[in-house]
Structure 1
Amino acid sequence: MKDRKTRLRSSDWFGRSGKDGFIYRAWMKNQGIPDSEFNGKPIIGICNTWSELTPCNGHFRELAESVKKGIWEAGGFPVEFPVMSLGETLMKPTAMLYRNLASMDVEESIRANPLDGVVLLCGCDKTTPSLVMGACSVDIPTIVVSGGPMLTGKYRGRNIGTSDVWRYHDDVREGTLETSELRNIEAAMCRSDGHCAVMGTASSMACMVEALGLSLPENAAIPAADARRKVLAQLSGRRIVEMVSDDLKPSDILTIKAFENAIKVNAAIGGSTNFVIHLLAIAGRVGVPLKLDDFNSLSRNIPLLANLQPSGKHFMEDLFYAGGLPAVLKELKNSLNNDSITVNGKTVRENYESSENYNREVIGSIDRPFNSATGLAILHGNLCENGAVIKPSAASAHLMVHTGKAVVFENIEDYKARIDTDNLEVDESSILVLKNVGPKGYPGMPEVGNMGLPKKLLEKGIRDMVRISDGRMSGTGFGTVVLHVSPEAAMGGNFSVIQNGDIISLNVYERSLHLAVSDEDLALRKSNKTLSPPLTERGYVNLYINHVEQAHLGADMDFLKGKSGAEVPRDSH
């Protein structure tokens, strides 16, 4: 913790005399704010992603009030402001297309306004990385408050969650479940405030910020409907005022050691594959030289400790009751950088040392893990020159080493048109390949990588096949799915010229993905291929297509790398 007290940024607004100070204070006073509130109190922004179009974050107005209580108690002055909210379930073509745009909204909103510190209210998948990316780029004291997972769904005597959506979808396609019955299941699954109840991307992001040290302990797993979520929000409001006094910023917390911790924790919890692309983007914003291969070296010896869907059977609510993420950290203590500092001013070790594991069925140990397979692996080979991602803990053991013929879909429309046709030449040993769903090719890199299997194979009882794409999949998804192939098909690499019938070999243990086509033949195919440039639309999509980087770099905009600081903008009066 720092021992110096910095001058408040907000004093460049509210500490002014004359015309400028008059304007800054007078118009704020129309909200009924006493003059004493402008006498040197730290101004704390509450960056709120509440939106009725983002159901996961629908309770954030109430959560913000708890944050405000804590800020007032600690002697701060809270100001709530909205930013673009990314609702995973509703946004088309994909929320990922707008992650970078939302991060720019956050960055510029913080920089342009009289804020000394900021509390980030985030929950749904992309809201967490976008807010963290934006705040890191400004680098003022920052703390994250996640919205929390929804309560576990209950349907006809069994627990259900978002991962079951994929199972129900296959059941409907197979004809074993009536479409009308899905309406009853919908109400039973999403029965409270909060994001997905499983270890999907939203939960993985909440775990990520806690593992990085950007949130208070237990932030990741407290259910949204639990009163303790409000308590954590209030305590976070108190703490951010102290962080401003201590000048504790994201750049102090987000060291390479913090990123290493987050990668190991993600492997242990079976976190979303989307974690890779978001963590790389955050690292790029703070200037930490994180590489895709670092995920392999750091994850390889970390088994799956958390028995949570989609890799296991339990839910985020169960993780909280079992001890939350601090209990997982304690199980990993011999693998972590325990001296890394966190937002409460304590080290990682200090935060978990008093925690306990209350349920070994939910949280295993290094010696007795739930699954010896790790939660993440990076693949290399001539099919993915810059790498690809797979989640071994959610894959089928019999497919971890597999060779088969490619069944190629050139784009998502091609896939939808042919996947259930009787004349599709496919069997259970085939490998489904989906092209042109990467950052530029779609654009936006949608969550379509866990392709539904052909109906005729579902009817035979087949429930998993090797699937490969340059897109992503939902963190709630599962199966032997290879994702984030880089370079994507739209960039003209080897992946772009795979043909039907090509032999592909996957070996997860050796971290390899190989296309049995010679370099000479690949070069010939590429020379004969005419690249269709991605559709260049107007506005932001045009900007995105022309500046987004590839998946192995985090799919951020090339001009957003590195933080630019919190300099005070010029006066306009």
Structure 2
Amino acid sequence: MNQDNKTKKAPTSAQKPLRSAQWFGTQDKNGFMYRSWMKNQGIPEHHFQGKPIIGICNTWSELTPCNSHFRELAESVRRGILEAGGVPVEFPVFSNGESNLRPSAMLTRNLAAMDVEESIRGNPIDGVVLLVGCDKTTPALVMGAASCDLPTIVVTGGPMLNGKHKGKDVGSGTLVWRMSEDYKAGKISLQEFMDAEADMSRSTGTCNTMGTASTMACMVESLGLSLPQNAAIPAVDARRKTLAYISGMRIVEMVQQDLRISQLLTRESLINAIRTNAAIGGSTNAVIHLKAIAARMELPLTLEDWQTYGQQIPTLVNLQPSGQFLMEDFYYAGGLPAVLKRLGDAGLLYKDCLTANGKTLWENNQQAPCYNDDVIRTIDNPLCSNGGICILRGNLAPRGAVLKPSAASPHLMKHRGRAIVFDSFDHYKERIMDDALDVDANSVMVLKNCGPKGYPGMPEVGNMGLPPKLLRAGITDMVRISDARMSGTAFGTVVLHVAPEAQEFGPLAAVEDGDWIALDTDAGSLELEVSAAEISARLDTLRQQKTHKKTGGYLQLYIEHVMQADEGCDFDFLVGCRGADVPGHSH
């Protein structure tokens, strides 16, 4: 594999007239109307005379705490656009916040992507700045923009400052999982648990662990869709505003050069992202989101690619939940450029991939320093030697399942145990607290009907809390299997994204209490020790019992059109790049 091909350069001159001229560039009735109504905002005439119109796609919302500072961030972007000679136009899109939105922000990721795509395509925009932060806002906005293929740059909101609890640094999300288990185990009181709320989230920004938000910020930077250092600058650091300002300037140049998102999102840059995900100990959610993004650009990406290109990559970033530190420490240690430098030096990057600033990935990062080898480990001293997402297949997951080795317990990576089955998340909540539950440390907890269609929306409930009676006995991890997802801030030996899901009568639906299940991560296998004939018979019985219920609205659209986890959970009718042309736009 040649990873040092001849350096690609961005085009240096505009290849076509400004797209916005179709609205503002004509001296007729249509041009009159478009310009006139825009002028009611006080926009001067000369802004319509050949200046690039730059959209600022904003996911600000007070219901999305991670993105609550985006009004201010958008102003920095706006000033940069103006300095570079562009005309900024800010517009809102659906903000699917992870922390408040029920039943799951994943349910509305595709809704947000549809909003973004149609907002970009239908409006007089030459280029777009995507303001992203909270988990699903990043993939949703990139997916929507990819289907339009205009010049695009991403500005992430940045992580919150380190949490501080009893004199120690604590990670957002990860602290919740750990303290909740400690409370159920009787190690801490309810008051001690509640007192940690304000300690965990003490500034605006995304989770400060290597959760999904930080992971996707790193994915964006490794894909070349943002400027260097975008992933890790803390939300409240003045350098975040500076990066936003410079990004505003840069998008004007990208329009002038006709440097579109399709020139940045390539098969090679996707492989770079897979390797980066392994090196940072990134979230399993990246598997689904990158697949969806790739499909919008009509680029091949499979679970086998994660196995081929990511499985043997060492985890270098020592961050919670896999390690010790937090995103603030990661930035001070050198941020993602230091990681990309180490991967590149080891021959593990496609170095010539073009990035948003017009330089190649390697030109941006080949001199990147690292200031702390404990936070960002060297290749020969990794946190985990094989940190890439583990892809599992077998008769329990014919189309695949995933596991995050850096967050798992080594002694459970090869395991055989009896299944304890929960038919739904409500069933799990009812059953798990019962001390009479026939479960021990060797049992395998199995959760069904929490996949894309089953919940619906594929919630982050795959890291099921352990039975209190086992927690009190000192058990801290068990093998858990589901068709659900897991928060990137969570940890444990958790098998996720089992496909096909139980709701679609995948073999997971056939598992019963007492069945033996064998997990072997080295072999990449996940097997239900039940005969094929018995599995088929059980599934036939379930099909006969199934009832069809119409829900109506967006939920009905979702259930009918969402694809499985291995396909990226996009809607089947949204796959592909439809471009920016507006059908039937003449008046």
Which piece of structure 1 moves more, 382-391 or 293-302? 293-302
Q: Deviations over 1:281-328 (max 9, x none)?
A: 000100001111110111121011000001001001111001010000
Q: Does residue 292 of structure 1 match 2:306? A: no
Q: Deviations over 1:402-424 (max 9, x none)?
A: 10000000111110100010221
CA distance in 2, matches of 1:570, 1:115: 17
Structure 2 counterpart of 1:488: 501
CA distance in 2, matches of 1:535, 1:295: 36
TM-score, normalising length from structure 2?
0.96
Contact 2:312–2:388 (CA<8 Å) still a contact in 1?
no
Structure 1 counterpart of 2:568: 554
Contact 1:12–1:568 (CA<8 Å) still a contact in 2?
no
User: Out of 206, 221, 224, which is 1:195 matched to?
Assistant: 206
Structure 2 counterpart of 1:450: 463
Residue 537 of structure 1 and its aligned partner are, at CA, apart by 1.2
Q: Deviations over 1:318-373 (max 9, x none)?
A: 11001010000011011100011011111111010121111000011212212213
Structure 1 counterpart of 2:314: 303
CA distance in 2, matches of 1:117, 1:277: 26
Q: Does residue 224 of structure 1 match 2:235? A: yes
Identity %: 61
CA distance in 1, matches of 2:386, 2:256: 44
Contact 1:536–1:545 (CA<8 Å) still a contact in 2?
no
Structure 1 counterpart of 2:349: 336
CA distance in 2, matches of 1:154, 1:496: 43
Contact 1:534–1:545 (CA<8 Å) still a contact in 2?
no
Unmatched 5+ residue regions in structure 1?
none
Residue 569 of structure 1 and its aligned partner are, at CA, apart by 4.5
Q: Does residue 71 of structure 1 match 2:81? A: yes
TM-score, normalising length from structure 1?
0.99
Structure 2 counterpart of 1:62: 72
Q: Does residue 568 of structure 1 match 2:578? A: no
Residue 534 of structure 1 and its aligned partner are, at CA, apart by 6.3
Contact 1:375–1:394 (CA<8 Å) still a contact in 2?
no
User: Out of 506, 511, 526, which is 1:513 matched to?
Assistant: 526
CA distance in 1, matches of 2:411, 2:166: 32
Q: Does residue 181 of structure 1 match 2:189? A: no
Q: Does residue 259 of structure 1 match 2:273? A: no
SS of structure 1 residue aligned to 2:153: strand
Q: Which amino acid aligns with 2:507?
A: N
User: Out of 542, 547, 569, which is 2:556 matched to?
Assistant: 542
Residue 522 of structure 1 and its aligned partner are, at CA, apart by 1.3
Aligned positions of 1:114-513 closer than 5 A:
114-162=124-172, 163-333=174-344, 334-513=347-526
Contact 2:133–2:217 (CA<8 Å) still a contact in 1?
yes
SS of structure 2 residue aligned to 1:558: coil
Residue 180 of structure 1 and its aligned partner are, at CA, apart by 2.4
SS of structure 2 residue aligned to 1:170: helix
Residue 533 of structure 1 and its aligned partner are, at CA, apart by 5.1
CA distance in 1, matches of 2:254, 2:323: 38
Alpha carbons of structure 1 residues 381 and 68: separation in structure 2 relative to 1, 3 Å: same
Residue 572 of structure 1 and its aligned partner are, at CA, apart by 6.5
SS of structure 2 residue aligned to 1:332: helix
User: Out of 19, 35, 39, which is 1:25 matched to?
Assistant: 35
Q: Which amino acid aligns with 2:271?
A: E
Residue 238 of structure 1 and its aligned partner are, at CA, apart by 0.5
Structure 1 counterpart of 2:7: none
Q: Deviations over 1:177-200 (max 9, x none)?
A: 222233321111100110000000
Which piece of structure 1 moves more, 122-131 or 16-25? 16-25
SS of structure 2 residue aligned to 1:145: strand
Contact 2:306–2:388 (CA<8 Å) still a contact in 1?
no
CA distance in 1, matches of 2:548, 2:296: 26
Residue 493 of structure 1 and its aligned partner are, at CA, apart by 1.7
Q: Deviations over 1:28-79 (max 9, x none)?
A: 1111111111111000000000000000000000000000111001100000
Q: How many residues align?
A: 573
SS of structure 1 residue aligned to 2:116: helix
Residue 15 of structure 1 and its aligned partner are, at CA, apart by 0.6
Q: Deviations over 1:492-546 (max 9, x none)?
A: 1211100111100111111111111111221222222235256431111111100
Contact 2:175–2:200 (CA<8 Å) still a contact in 1?
no
SS of structure 2 residue aligned to 1:389: strand
Contact 1:47–1:83 (CA<8 Å) still a contact in 2?
yes
Structure 1 counterpart of 2:3: none
Unmatched 5+ residue regions in structure 2?
1-9
Which piece of structure 1 moves more, 439-448 or 375-384? 375-384
Alpha carbons of structure 1 residues 343 and 226: separation in structure 2 relative to 1, 3 Å: same
Aligned positions of 1:27-46 closer than 5 A:
27-46=37-56
SS of structure 2 residue aligned to 1:176: coil
Structure 2 counterpart of 1:2: 11
Residue 455 of structure 1 and its aligned partner are, at CA, apart by 0.6
SS of structure 1 residue aligned to 2:362: helix
Alpha carbons of structure 1 residues 533 and 150: separation in structure 2 relative to 1, 3 Å: farther
